[in-house]
Amino acid sequence: MSLFIVTVRLAGINDTNVNYTGRVEVLHKGKWGKICRDGWDMNDVKVVCTQLGFKSALAEFVGIDIKDENVSIVISKVDCRGTESAWESCSRTDGHDNCVDDTGAQAMCEPSKLAIEIS
């Protein structure tokens, strides 16, 4: 039996019906943390949305105040081409690395029929 470990999630929106948008958090060294928004773009969002099983990416910044002081920046300078199957395959820097925006990366994915039925 293989064990599937979820390494990325969308967080920060408390409405359980909205599971396709939010702050991007990644499991890094056993703890959930934010990705620095510096350099974050649609190619990065495409990879995250695909990894989460959504149809496609709609936006790289949602503009909703989903800042959480209790969740720290753990990854910076994510640079995906948009074709990777997981964010871990993208170029990145571990740690805060002079991140100027503590809000963290955000994403809005296009919900698939399956994702809507699950919520």
- 10, 45, 41, 33: which is closest to 97 by C-alpha? 33
C-alpha torsion sign, points 43, 47, 103, 115: positive
pLDDT digits (tens, 9 = 90+) for 6-51: 799 998 877 667 789 999 999 998 999 999 998 899 999 999 999 9
pLDDT digits (tens, 9 = 90+) for 73-90: 999 999 999 999 999 999
Reduced to 3 states (helix: H, G, I; strand: E, B; else coil), residue 49 is: helix
pTM exceeds 0.75: yes
